[in-house]
Structure 1
């Protein structure tokens, strides 16, 4: 809903009452989801340029140079509220929307990542949401032939009633031939193509910018789009074929705010006139507001010279895609819409697209760290409890539903990063964040999120190229949330600069709260990171390999999985030192094995890569095994010369019949069966339930 203050401001600017369509346009385009009203000031502080950035934030996707003949198109979106109301369609259309952002740049989509966040898996509703979100992502991605090569799933009670579904898509395009979503020449035509327009998804942008009510599943169902991946596949092929002709001047996906959003944002450098009557419809009796604001899926808008329409129309018709010439680019900076012979919208385009006043809320720092209290449980029991926690346990139940190998580029999806072969190099991809640590220390936690994704790339020998993000937070009207948001963006920007990874795009999702559960989500500035390195196959260390720890950190258990299980508290991790990343990259490129010590601590890292080993640790057992502070790596090697310069501390050897750990006078024995049962806990729950 347009606020009373905004309405008064608009009518003062226009010197007249606004029409119903104008009201709907402002309601959606001035929403937080589209205009970033509460975050503009923060986002301007992020580093967005670099030697490889060809096109930064502001378009459907960013373009980043990968090699002389390959550029990446990369984008990230959230589909949080729709995925609670209708998890299957909400998640599926989240995939469809971000993929269309990639193809609108003239790029071929080649990979997806899906960081996901849910309430406790012990609750039936949360299992239902997880099951159908994963199914929606898998079905849509598999049908359009784009592999999901990386993901993350986190569980916490504060996501109950408001799960987060974030999706990253990456495509490839000639660095000299990518499209943009900005019109170039007055007089050119605007052609809408793809699926017909229906009433599904009405008000989706404004829906995404408010809290979820207790009756959201019933009341907001019409705001959720319904996708058709088979039409999307046709859109991919047709758009790429049209782009190859050189006749597409500009192209934009119809996403948030539907045709009104796409046509006005696309034309903001000039102006546009849209004839709403000419839109091809799926339902009869639709009025101008429904036609312009519906968020029906699988639709695209392109700018075309009038004389080139027949050639492009022939391609669309070859793929059985409908199209309509619905308007033109204007010299005057106005946004005009006609319907049934009447002008139903006549606005200064700058006012509509860029005129939303920024909103600055009260900011209040807080402190949520608690004193550390050592757990009293048996060390072995704690090891098994951490390994079986759903944040740590294997995600086989999820990954088996995704086709990783379609398009035949995937080298590996194991370990901390997905690898795809592009020419003679590997594209490396990582995603996610550490919400509980970010809640305790927003600046350090968000900075460490960037570090940990860069660490995942370092473990496959790759350098970061760029970052995209989804800033998922609760309502900024709460002073502590607004402070949290500003600190997280500041931390993300500082570490992005430190690791050399500009933030080239993303989205903001605020108001993630649930009246039904009385919850606010954890601060979740989830990121996707792309990098470049050699083509390395992920291989676990073999018997006889030396295990060691490289890097250092101050032990801190606040926000760890152990903290969740035992309530032990403690400080959150300090800021990680990125200087170790280049040493890890060199070590891995020389044949060493590395995995960063993060979620679940050292016990999780050892169980993943060396479930049969003998290990001796110095210091106290709890921090030695369960500290998740970033900056440390578990490494393995057979030739000690490859570890020179790492100052690594040897802790043991791979091999034997079990995992044997000696620490602080404790002897911990984990049989392969015990380790496997713990790591398989999530899969067991989902298949059993």
Structure 2
């Protein structure tokens, strides 16, 4: 065999040192197919070469990596013999090139991760980032194209596959110009004693290909997702997979039915790296090998090479190992559903994956070499200059607007804070008829799954501004806000999954930010008792202005003892009282306005640091609030986040058409009236209660928490006072119209 030219393996994403390591492991130069297999399995997307050391901050990840390895998704037991499978995945790179298919296949991929565990998918969520939509320039036009395509892709796939899209979030910033973040989350429900595994076992057991035929789409998609995109994005379109939601629906039903037969020993989705990933990971996890005959693989094009067949990322495909002699049971189920099912090989005891095409061996590799021996890299991180200067930001230099009521309406029309019904109105969030609290109605979605009285609160949250300015605190804040969101609908926070989106880890400043923010996430989750059970890392996200905002997105699951006791975020009408539930912060830098939405939207300033949370007290607050809601003592709840207390109250009362007379508290001695309205203080939740219940709440209030009356819910006018003086006033209708109309106007330009 002639020596491989360096340009060949470099084009696949391998470094010279990595290729040399492969030669050392194999004792020879790899073939073209073997090189491609190593390249995808040793990419950051599959091998986590930069992130793996840092992900060990997560206790569940460390335990899995030190033991049997990771499964396709995490499982959380909720009682009644049931478990919830949950995971977040990113599809950032494909969505930047082909937004509709990139987003659609992101949805399809995360759904497969869930039903591969034997869980029926019951809900999807998404977290999206785009460049600004305003303006007539080329960047704005491109951003609107990406925004429209991604949302349509999510809707087009999710609506057809029959899994409701029940929640999500969207925000905009110039650092996402031409480089969206598209993170998809899915949860599913499974009987705990019927969870499927990916570890192949049983020498002689047949290996079965399941699903759509293999084509040439998505080849090297995993390495594509592990590199920066440049000006030749259009040339990368062949790397983007093409999805078929109807085929996925058939695959869901066939897979779940086949798993019920007991004939399936193990199963894995053919996701990133396709047939390579599934054969390698299943073999390595089970300590076995496989013999694979590619001639038996269903193909869309008969002339496909071994290289193309092993690296294709065609969608809606699975790989299963059946118990010997029971393969026909599996095949019959899939054929009943109109899905390809074909034996393409068998399990061996060699630990090697041997692949043939046209009778010739095109790959013969040790599974653990690809799955477990990817080199890892640790960078000497450096705190970025902007993190240091942010701590010294002087809020006193910022002028206070003369009309803070007008400022509140201005915030309502800012895209990040405006109504997102243009987005979720395209999603079918009621299919399966288990959605008990819909998008826009509460701080999290609530599902009432059949087979249990319990409810599931689900939310995905993230704020790259906080993380950029103060990475450790920003990581903690993302977790704590997601936990508060599920508590606001009545859920006790139970577990988390994360989507970690950053620029190049080879940049010392970005690596430091990644390290610090992940540590913040891990520490907050430990304090809250919400283990990170699954997740995803996406590096090399760079837009027109450089790296994107560092954006960890936290998916949170909360459990309601009774789904019927769920709580929304909008008040029901006059007669109730708004109260502020909170804990006391040891420090509130920059009067709570650092890194705030108010500074960005009103003053055009991105500076300062956010107020760090106290995760141990967040746990007390979340459990207390969820308990009150489940006792029927709270009529509405909304956490104070972007836009501060003023915006939180306005969303609760003005959007449904009511008003309020609010006396603003000032426990930290703020000297600015805009800080009283717009400071972003974690651990603050506004609740609507009946006046007669306030005494009950005070009597049950833990000593670590505070409860302050803000004022009554009224008709029509929203008025804020401090020490009796009016500091802001606006009509509910004015706020609601501005809030509702912003996004529609921008998209339809």
TM-score in terms of structure 2 length: 0.89
**CA distance, structure 1, for counterparts of residue 744 and residue 738 of structure 2:** 10
How much has 1:641 moved relative to structure 2?
2.2
Q: Which residue of 2 aligns with 1:684?
A: 744
Sort the Cα spacing of 1:343 and 1:688 in 2 relative to 1 into closer, same or farther, 3 A.
closer
**Aligned-pair distance for 1:332?**
0.9
Deviation at 1:642, TM superposition (A): 3.6
Query: Contact (CA 8 Å) 1:57, 1:505: kept in 2 or not?
Result: no
Q: 1:682 to 1:50 in 2, by over 3 A?
A: farther
1:490-529 equivalence runs, <5 A: 490-514=519-543, 517-529=544-556
**Mapped pair 1:546 → 2:562:** no
Verify the 8 A CA contact 1:416 1:459 in the aligned structure 2: yes
Cα offset for 1:651? 1.7
Deviations 1:146-168 (A, max 9, x none): 01111011111111121110011
Say which of 341, 352, 355 aligns to 1:323: 341
Deviation at 1:375, TM superposition (A): 3.1
What SS does the corresponding residue of 1:655 show, helix, strand or coil? strand
Give unmatched runs, 5+ long, in structure 2.
Answer: 1-12, 135-139, 667-671
CA contact (8 A) 2:673 2:727 kept: no
Q: Tell me which residue corresponds to 1:421.
A: 448
Does 2:661 align with 1:614? yes
2:380 aligned with 1:357, yes or no? no
1:657 lines up with 2:688 in the alignment: no
Q: Which whole-Å CA distance do the structure 2 matches of 1:328 and 1:635 have between them?
A: 59
- Structure 1 stretches of 4+ moved >6 Å: none
> Contact (CA 8 Å) 2:466, 2:609: kept in 1 or not?
no
Matches within 5 A, 1:392-471: 392-413=417-438, 414-422=441-449, 423-471=452-500
Q: Is the 8 A contact 1:389 1:561 kept in 2?
A: no
Alpha-carbon distance between aligned partners in 1 of 2:665 and 2:497, rounded to the nearest angstrom: 39
Does structure 1 conserve the Cα–Cα contact (< 8 Å) formed by 2:488 and 2:567?
Answer: no
1:371 alignment counterpart = 394
Residues 1:640 and 2:694 aligned together: yes
Rounded to whole Å, the distance in 2 between the matches of 1:663 and 1:523 is 37
Closer, same or farther in 2 for the Cα pair 1:570/1:10, shift >3 Å? closer
Check whether the contact 2:400–2:674 (CA below 8 A) recurs between aligned residues. Answer: no
The question of whether the paired residues in 2 share the 8 Å contact of 1:182 and 1:267 is answered with yes
- Specify which structure has the higher proportion of helix: 2
Q: Deviations over 1:66-105 (max 9, x none)?
A: 1132111111100001001000000000000011111111
Three-state SS of the structure 2 residue aligned to 1:326 is strand
Q: Give me the whole-angstrom Cα distance separating, in 1, the residues matched to 2:68 and 2:107.
A: 21
Runs of 5+ unmatched residues, structure 1: none
Query: Deviation digits for residues 420-470 of structure 1, max 9, x if unmatched?
Result: 113111011011111101111111110111111111111122112211111
Measure, in 2, the Cα distance between the counterparts of 1:439 and 1:319: 48
Task: Tell me, yes or no, if the aligned pair for 2:503 and 2:539 is still in contact at 8 Å.
Answer: yes
Aligned residue pairs, count: 683
Alpha-carbon shift at residue 667 of structure 1 (Å):
4.0
Does residue 1:573 correspond to 2:591, yes or no?
no
2:37 & 2:409 partners in 1: Cα distance?
54
- Indicate whether 1:24 and 2:36 are aligned: yes
Give the drift of 1:368. 4.4
SS in 1 for 2:394: coil
Name the SS of the counterpart of 2:118 in structure 1: coil
1:482 aligns with 2:511: yes
Kindly report which structure 2 residues correspond to 1:66-105, keeping only aligned pairs within 5 A, or say none.
66-105=78-117
The answer (yes or no) to whether the contact 1:601–1:628 under 8 Å persists in 2 is yes
Deviation at 1:191, TM superposition (A): 0.4
Contact 1:362 1:477 in 2 (8 A): no
Deviation string 1:306-334 (CA, Å, 9 cap, x unpaired) is 31111221111111111221111110111
What is the match of residue 226 of structure 1? Answer: 242
Q: Give 1:597 shift.
A: 0.2
Contact 2:500–2:553 (CA under 8 A) maintained in structure 1: yes
Indicate yes or no: 2:730 matched with 1:670.
Answer: yes
> What is the aligned-residue RMSD (CA, Å)?
1.8
1:570 and 1:311, CA in 2 relative to 1: closer, same or farther beyond 3 A? Answer: closer
Q: Would the aligned equivalents of 2:293 and 2:356 in 1 still touch at CA under 8 Å? A: yes
What is aligned with 1:263?
A: 279
Shift in Å, 1:598: 0.5
Moved more, 581-590 or 124-133: 581-590
Matched, 1:557 2:593: yes
| Correspondence for 2:305 | 287
Answer with 89-98 or 541-550: which moved more.
Answer: 541-550
CA contact (8 A) 2:443 2:486 kept: yes
